[in-house]
């Protein structure tokens, strides 16, 4: 078994501890393991897809710099989501103020398909538009819970809030989405 294969088989915490001691190869494995998932998270919570690569890169740079202070009070993945969340918020603050309705992009599906595909696309467009209207914490909480299936405690850590606040965000977000997307109910 090669050295890289051995690293690939190690859990995140072990790799993070090795990276804390300066093992760049261990950190490279963590980047490769978590970059696609972090990119999807950022892409779903930040309105400009063109900037997502930069935000994810800034997240990993910040992670490398802050790794010596990582105390393993949470999972490494949770810590990365928290860093990505902060970097996304920073990027949102740097943006020019825009009307989120104007910045919500519709992604038409170019594939021909039956009516169900058209209805699904309409639903996804409406869902994306409604999520774009939400404040960042509500949008991030929804994605972390509904798509990435993170536990409430981890979401609270990522968003620097309490589990009760996350529950409230999710409840209000789900209620709003149920109301605004009621036309899509079967």
Report which of 93, 91, 74 is spatially closest to residue 82, judged by C-alpha positions.
74
* DSSP output for 92-125: HHHSPP--HHHHPPP----S---HHHHHHHHHHH
Token code pair at residue 179: 């109301």
For residues 67 and 161, what is the distance between their CA atoms, to the nearest angstrom? 22
Q: Please give the DSSP secondary-structure letter assigned to residue 164.
A: H
Mean pLDDT (the chain) is 86
Answer yes or no: is pLDDT of 130 > 80. Answer: yes
- Place 123 in a pLDDT band, splitting at 50, 70 and 90: confident
List, for residues 155-172, the tens digit of each pLDDT value: 999 999 999 999 999 999
Which three-class secondary structure state does DSSP give residue 70?
A: coil
Number of H helices, E strands in the chain: 10, 0
d(CA 59, CA 63): 6
pLDDT of residue 115: 58
The two tokens of residue 145 are 């819970």
pLDDT exceeding 70 applies to what percent of the chain?
84
CA angle, residues 83, 135, 142, in degrees to nearest 5: 70
Question: What pLDDT, on a 0 to 100 scale, did the predictor assign at position 175?
Answer: 94
pLDDT at 105 over 90: no
User: Could you tell me if 177 and 104 are in contact, meaning their C-beta atoms sit under 8 angstroms apart?
Assistant: no
**Residue 109's pLDDT band (cuts 50, 70, 90):** very low
């Amino acid at each position: 078994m090669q050295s890289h294969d051995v690293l690939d088989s190690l859990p995140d915490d072990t790799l993070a501890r090795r990276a804390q001691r300066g093992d760049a190869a261990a950190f490279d494995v963590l980047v490769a393991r978590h970059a696609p998932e972090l990119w999807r998270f950022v892409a779903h919570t930040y309105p400009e897809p063109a900037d997502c690569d930069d935000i994810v890169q800034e997240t990993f740079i910040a992670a490398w710099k802050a790794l010596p202070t990582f105390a393993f009070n949470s999972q490494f993945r949770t810590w990365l989501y928290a860093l990505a969340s902060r970097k996304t918020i920073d990027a949102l603050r740097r943006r020019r103020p825009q009307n989120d309705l104007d910045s919500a992009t519709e992604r038409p599906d170019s594939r021909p398909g039956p009516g169900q595909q058209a209805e699904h696309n309409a639903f996804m467009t409406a869902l994306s538009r409604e999520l774009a209207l939400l404040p960042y914490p509500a949008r991030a909480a929804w994605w972390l819970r509904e798509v990435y299936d993170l536990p409430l405690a981890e979401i609270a850590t990522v968003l620097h809030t309490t589990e009760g606040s996350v529950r409230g965000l999710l409840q209000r977000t789900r209620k709003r989405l149920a109301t605004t997307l009621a036309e899509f109910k079967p």
